[in-house]
Structure formats: structure tokens, C-alpha cells
Amino acid sequence: MSVIARWLLPALLIAGCSPTQVLPTQGNVGGAEDGSGSGKKNKSKAKGESADDVENRAVGASQAGGVALGPVAAPSAAEQLIAQDAAANPGANIIYATLGHLAPDGQQNDKLAMVRMGMVKVLNSVSNRPEIVNLKAIDPGQTVYRIDMAAYNQAAAVGRLKSAEAASGNVSTVGSATVVKGDWLVFALSRPEVYNPIMKFPALGKMFDAQLGVDWSKAKYLNVSKSEVAFNGRVLARIPLQQAGKPGGYYWRSYDFVLPNVREKAFQDPTTVRTTQVNDFVAGEFFFSLPNGLQGYFLTGFGDQQRYDVPADRRAGGISPQVASDYRRPQDGLGQCVGGKAPCGIVINGESCMTCHAYGINLPIESAGANNATIAEMHDLVNQDRARFVSALKEMGIEDNLKVEPILGTVNIFRADRNYEDKRKQASEVPFLGGN
């Protein structure tokens, strides 16, 4: 294999996802890499009620319409409900998600509330429909859900889920109906090995731009000198996007650097990194608006190729220079971490991006200039795009000042409940580009 091919195939992705796991319930809008909250104040507390009580009360009401829920369906009762419902609602696109395994005592709890939010958010995060689709339970306790994947334009995802990571033990059948455990569903849909294929991402970044209809003549740029995700700074490009669904579509693309001279040149003239060579070591993350108001994510390596994730240091199994890390994944056990926040892990498309962008586009923690705009104008665009995302969250019944982002909270519930290590190595490349 040639030297160029060795760099091209395992080349790193950019990571633009916040490493913050616990989101503050108050404070100013945070940075692109610090993942802080919406800036709203804490919910009011009743006398004698702790902050955690307030949080749990809010989470418990979400996706339950604020009404008291019935008991958790026992496994035999859940199977009977599914069999009856599947007979009345047949279809290859339908799956059933159950939550009862997280409540062995049959009582409602905070895990169930978190997973309900995680499910509705991740399902709408893979949708290209113009509307938010909320979950509908078939039991009084809201622990058994019929999910029509066609409602998200994701009918093909059913087959992909059946062969996804950790499907064994988490996917079963009741008659002809496919049944999944709800926390695992969130885990699976946020793995890049599932997320990238069902989103139908092309092989190259330039192909992705063409797919979205990106008009680079309208680009505005923001220089970011300090990041809590990228080791060596980045340039953010923002372009308005015309698409169906909610107005105010947008496209952001981040250029992440390894070499200081390439970064400084891009800070002066960002068009210099529109086309790069592999040995320029410029990777990319793309945030793009979905028609329903949420966001999608796409990552590219040094050869502009689609990537699944990014190794934060070479001990992760890669041969490329480090670009980024995610300290919300300490289970990966990496020692070279942005800001020295070890242990940390590998940024993966799907989970890392969905969970760090808890409220959409985030402000940089340190801006160092702008091109074709002012810094203030770029920050205004961030806040504009963020408001579109938060509006979609509210349609799903998700508060914009939760302490834990629902997808990350649900994935962590899955890991803990199954004692699942989820320790990653260097990402596999997309199959047609080779790799390990």
C-alpha cells in the first residue's frame, strides 16, 4: 500500500461534538465545544424539593403528557399486547419497543422517563420528514410502543437494526412482529455503523455538498482558536440551506487542523481549505438542518472521504495524526485528550454529535476572527439556528435545560443495565474505502 493510501484509508474525521456529559440548567449559551445549556433558569422548586427532584419531575412528565402513568407491563402482558396490536396493525416497517426490563419491580422510574425522551429524539434525528413524530404507547404504563419506521422515511432501517451491534438479546420476535428493547434502540441508531448507512451518506464530502445543494458563494466563516474537542483549532463555514419542511435551513461545515501553518493560512483565507491534499491533514464535520427542525451529522477524513469516527490518539489503533477527542467516552481509555481531560474516548458519528449538540449549533468557546462576516454576525447565526432546533425539541416535549442530554442518558442506561463495555478502537472505514 502506498504512503498516500495509508493516510487516505484510515484518515481521521473531524469531531465537533461537545465533551460535556452533564448539561447545566442555567447560565449563558455555551460554546461549540463546551455543550452548555440553553441559558434558561432552573424550573421553580416546591418547598423542600431538591434540584434533582425538580429534574426528575420534569423528566417524568416528558413524553407522558404530564399525566399519571399506569403500572409497567409485565413481560407476558407486553407480549400479549404486542401480539394483539400486530394483528390489527401488520406491516414490515413496524417495530415494537419495550421498556419493562428497566423496571423489574413494575413501577415507573427515572430510567423509563429518560429512555422515552431518548427514543423520540433519536428517531426524529434520523428522519427526513417535515414534521416531528411523537411516540404512541399501546399500554397505560407507556412501556410498550408501536413504531412505524416509515413515518420517519426509514423503512429500510428495520433490516439494519436486526444486524446491529448487540442486537442479540435486544431484538426478538412476537409472532411475526419485531420487538426491540427501547434503550438498545437508542444505542443502535446512534452507532455510526447504523446511522451513516440509513442516512444514505455518499462517499465524499463534495458529493454530500452536491446532495444537499450547498451554494458556497453564500458562505460565511468563523475562526475558532480554542476548542474542547479539536486539538488544533478549526474554521467554521455557514451557508443557508434551501429544503422542505421548517424554514431557516442551514449547513455548517467545520475544518479541523493538524498543522499550524495550514490553520493560520485558513484563518486568513478559508477558501484555501475548500480543496486540500491528504498531507494537509484537514478533516471535516458537517452539521445540517433536517426538515423537522433537528440536525444531521456527517464526517470526513483527510481525503474528503466519509468516516465513521475519529481516533483521538494512535493508541486507539490508527496511524493518522490526532485531531479530536471526546471525554464523555472515558470507557475508551485514551490518554491523549484535548485539554488534558483524561481519560477520554473516540468521537463517533451519531452518538458524539447528537449528544454534544444537545440544543443544536453551539457557540465557540474562543473565536479568533471571521471572514465575509463579523464575529457578532456569526454568533447571531448560531443563535438563530439553535432556536430552530430548540423549537423542535419542544414539539417532542423535551425541555431545553435538562441536566443530561436524553440520547446520552439513554445510551448510558443501556451500558450500565447490560454491563456493556462499548470500548471502541480505530473506526472501520466505509466498506468501499477499505480499512480494518
pLDDT, tens digit, for every residue of 372-388? 999 999 999 999 999 99
Question: What are the two backbone dihedrals, phi and then psi, of residue 327, each rounded to the nearest 5 degrees?
Answer: -85, 5
What are the cell numbers at 229? 474537542
Task: List, in order, residues 6 or more apart from 394 with CB less than 8 Å away.
Answer: 400
Is the pLDDT at 283 greater than 80? The verdict is yes
Longest dimension (CA), the chain: 69
Comparing 169 with 433, the larger pLDDT belongs to 169
- The residues pairing with 282 across neighbouring beta strands, listed in sequence order, are 257
Please report which confidence band the pLDDT of residue 58 belongs to, taking 50, 70 and 90 as the band edges. Answer: very low
Please report which confidence band the pLDDT of residue 319 belongs to, taking 50, 70 and 90 as the band edges. Answer: low
Backbone torsion region of residue 166, taken as left when φ is above 0, otherwise alpha when ψ lies between -120 and 50, otherwise beta = left
Is the pLDDT at 19 greater than 50? The verdict is no
Is the pLDDT at 265 greater than 60? The verdict is yes
pTM: 0.86
For residue 272, give Cα distances in angstroms to 12, 221, 277: 20, 12, 11
- The residues pairing with 92 across neighbouring beta strands, listed in sequence order, are none
Flag the least confident range among 53-67, 84-98, 211-225: 53-67
Mean pLDDT of the chain: 84
406 burial type by CB count under 10 A (0-12 exposed, 13-18 middle, 19+ buried): buried
pLDDT, tens digit, for every residue of 100-138? 999 999 999 999 999 999 999 999 999 999 999 999 999
Rounded average pLDDT over 46-56: 41
Is the pLDDT at 37 greater than 80? The verdict is no
Count of all residues that appear for the chain in the document: 436
Rounded average pLDDT over 389-414: 96
Please report which confidence band the pLDDT of residue 228 belongs to, taking 50, 70 and 90 as the band edges. Answer: confident
Are the C-beta atoms of residues 410 and 119 closer than 8 Å to each other? yes
For residue 419, give Cα distances in angstroms to 67, 412, 414: 32, 10, 8
Say whether the peptide bond before residue 343 is cis (omega within 30 degrees of 0).
yes
Are the C-beta atoms of residues 263 and 233 closer than 8 Å to each other? yes
Rounded average pLDDT over 136-163: 96
pLDDT of 436: 27
What are the cell numbers at 78? 407486553
- Closest C-alpha to 224, from 214, 237, 215: 237
Question: Hunting for cell 485558513 — which residue is that?
Answer: 266
Q: What is the Cα–Cα distance from 190 to 227, expressed in whole angstroms?
A: 23
pLDDT, tens digit, for every residue of 229-249? 899 999 999 999 999 899 999
pLDDT of 423: 92
Q: What is the Cα–Cα distance from 132 to 121, expressed in whole angstroms?
A: 9
Question: Hunting for cell 483549532 — which residue is that?
Answer: 233
Flag the least confident range among 127-131, 189-193, 427-431: 427-431
Of the segments 11-15, 36-40, 41-45, 151-155, which one has the largest average pLDDT value? Answer: 151-155
Comparing 358 with 37, the larger pLDDT belongs to 358
Return the sign of the alpha-carbon dihedral for residues 61, 62, 66, 67.
negative
pLDDT of 316: 67
Flag the least confident range among 215-224, 296-305, 316-325, 337-346: 316-325
Comparing 122 with 435, the larger pLDDT belongs to 122
Please report which confidence band the pLDDT of residue 40 belongs to, taking 50, 70 and 90 as the band edges. Answer: very low
Is the pLDDT at 216 greater than 90? The verdict is yes
